[in-house]
Structure 1
Amino acid sequence: MFGAYVTVTILASVFTAIAAVTYFAGHDYPKAQLDMKRLPHSWMPMLGAFLAAGSVGLLAGFAVPLLGILASIGLVLYFVGALVAHLRVGSRNLVGWGVFFITVVAALVVNIAHNG
């Protein structure tokens, strides 16, 4: 179980950190996603900060387990919000969202199983 906990937590942290960097760097992909969801580009730093905080929180969970659990809950909520944004505009292209969502849900499950 410990191996799964470490692997899934690090994987989720890396995924969300890379996503955060794309938001902070102003990459074209997050801009296109915001345009598609009819959200302002001014939200990019805030969304990147949420992802970065979740990524750091997952890693901090190795030292303080409650932080890892709270970070994974926050990331699950973030991606639920992303799903709502997709569905609000009628987008059915949910493969990317699904990869992130499954990863952060798995992080939540292994964090609770290992530390709960």
Structure 2
Amino acid sequence: MLVDVRERAEAARVEILGPVVTVETFTDEEEAVRRADDVPFGLAASVWAENARRSHDIAVRLDFGTDWGNSHLVLADEVPWGDLKGSGYGRDLSLYALDDYSRTKHVMHHPSHPLPP
């Protein structure tokens, strides 16, 4: 656990894929959301607050692929697990994962101009 991490410190801006948490202080929710979103990555975020509604409302505003309110790493197979920004590519779990193996294409043909046999 890294405590009293300053704004824009490297530890707060990179994805440390390990058991590391940074603890930062802020003056209000607007600053907290701005600082959280001011990173080049967006895999996941957790918001903890005494009030469950408050943690939910803040989590919804964050620009991360998965956000939790008063919890962390709770996953369900029916919802996508994925990332935003520079954290990777695509979605795992759920039907959204099939999009990585699919390509949609729209072809429209005007009925007054028949196709040749």
TM tier relative to shorter chain: under 0.3
Q: Identify, as 1 or 2, the structure richer in helix.
A: 1
Q: What is the TM-score normalised by the length of structure 1?
A: 0.25
Q: What is the TM-score normalised by the length of structure 2?
A: 0.25
Q: Identify, as 1 or 2, the structure richer in strand.
A: 2
Higher relative contact order (Cα pairs below 8 Å, separated by 6+ residues): 1
